[in-house]
Amino acid sequence: MKKLKYLFCLFIVLSFYNGYAQKDTLLVKTNTTEKTQLPIIDSSKQLDAIDILYRILGKTAAETKRQKSSKLNFSLVPAFGYSLSTGFAVDLTGNVAFYTSSSHKENLSAIDAETIYDTKGQIIFTSRSEIWAHSNDYKLVTDLRLERYPEDTYGLGAGTRQAKDNPIDFTYMRTYFTVFKKMLPDFYGGVGYNLDYHYNITQKGNADNTVSDFTKYGFAPQSTSSGFTLNLLYDSRRNKINPLGGGLASITYRDNYTFLGSDHNWQELNLEFKKFLKLSDKSNNILAFWSIAQFTSGNVPYLDLPANGEDMYNNSGRGYEQDRFRGKNFLYLESEYRFGITKNGLIGGVVFANAESLSEFQTNRFQKVAPAAGTGLRIKVNKHSDTNVCLDYAAGLYGSHGLFVNLGEMF
């Protein structure tokens, strides 16, 4: 708990650092003056994949008509490809970005949905939303999922090896709702409800014929976690799909109760921090930082324990398949540099590195770190919502490497 207190204090300091940073610009100090510089370049005047498609089809009038943003900006990407988590997959991903008033005084709202079918037998449907209302006085966040999810798991901690591969299969339903109310500019308090229901859970056992951590921890064919959340949020991002400044700091406390249907009473504290630094007034190049800290107490169901790739958008831990590492507590840090390649904004690139640690099964201490790094391309698919298709290649420990795809920035 002593370490947790130090981490909490650091988190508060970072939150207030975000609070005093400029929302859409950066402050640049000189010897004699302090002036506001580095304005954001308007991506709607650049080029995207839809413009290119219109040119190929010879529809210049339609391309000209797009120069003015519509009320709803849709991005839809059908894909066939391969990733560590899915194998070969057919994927249909889309999002819609919009302002909830004609004055555009609110932050940009977004709803996304994704359907996946792959060679591992995974069938996934997810829908997530972040909706701002009434001059940013309120924010509604939802996360809904229905999945049949066979996957490889490797036990608890950050040092597990391939020999401990324990294939499991389950069906999963998630229902998360959170409502935030503004207390101060960019500062919010919120309450929510979280339900995680896993059923038809099976396991094959470790590849080396040893007893799996799942069995040691307490295997069950189904599990239910149902609880309320209390939330504190600082969010100065104006476009969460592709932030070009500002940041986020959040504290979420979740308490699960048997009277709400949980198998056991258990608690979780989740701290998250994001920061986006614009480096030049001649481009939208960004240096981005992301950190997560999760701590649990009580009898947490095995599949509800913190794991890489289990953030809201399943993007943490590039370089490893989802749920490659799992533990009662989780620490994560990532940094990424985002830069343009073409002057028209159509193609960009990134380089990134991350590191994670999860508490070990026997000691519940952080003893090992799993790093990863990679690079990738960005292709603009909707210039009005500034939405990119992200194609990243990353590598980590134990021979882990693969392709990671997303619609919208990874964080």
Q: Has residue 20 got a pLDDT over 50? A: no
Q: Which of 77-81, 109-113, 264-268, 298-302 has the lowest mean pLDDT?
A: 77-81
CATH of the domain at 170: 2.40.160.50
**DSSP 8-state secondary structure symbol assigned to residue 41:** P
- Is residue 267 within 8 A of residue 216, CB to CB? The reply is no
For residue 205, give every residue at least 6 positions away whose Cβ sits within 8 Å of its Cβ, in sequence order, or none: 166, 211, 212, 215
Residue 157 placed within a domain: yes
Question: How is residue 336 written in tokens?
Answer: 């990424």
- Is residue 40 within 8 A of residue 53, CB to CB? The reply is no
Total Cβ atoms within 10 A of residue 137: 12
Question: How is residue 393 written in tokens?
Answer: 């290649």
For residue 364, give every residue at least 6 positions away whose Cβ sits within 8 Å of its Cβ, in sequence order, or none: 328, 329
Half-sphere exposure of 114 (CA within 13 A, CB side): 24
- Report pLDDT for 189: 98
Residue 411 placed within a domain: no
Q: What is the mean pLDDT of residues 328-335?
A: 98
Q: What is the pLDDT of residues 39-73, one digit of tens each?
A: 788 787 788 888 888 888 877 666 666 555 557 78
Q: What is the pLDDT of residues 213-232, one digit of tens each?
A: 999 999 999 999 999 999 99
Burial class (CB in 10 A: 0-12, 13-18, 19+), 240: buried
Q: What is the pLDDT of residues 334-367, one digit of tens each?
A: 999 999 999 999 999 999 999 999 999 989 999 9
Residue 223 placed within a domain: yes
Rounded Cα–Cα distance for residues 213 and 120 (Å)? 22
- Report pLDDT for 237: 93
Q: Which of 80-84, 148-152, 236-240 has the lowest mean pLDDT?
A: 80-84
- Report pLDDT for 81: 61
Residue 236 one-letter amino acid: S
Number of domains in the chain: 1
Q: Has residue 371 got a pLDDT over 80? A: yes
Please give the C-alpha separations between residue 181 and each of 70, 139, 268, 360, in angstroms, as whole numbers.
Answer: 28, 7, 22, 38
Q: Has residue 22 got a pLDDT over 50? A: no
**Coil, strand, or helix at residue 311?**
coil
Residue 89 placed within a domain: yes
Q: Has residue 410 got a pLDDT over 90? A: yes
Residue 156 placed within a domain: yes
Question: 383 is in which domain, residue-wise?
Answer: 2-406
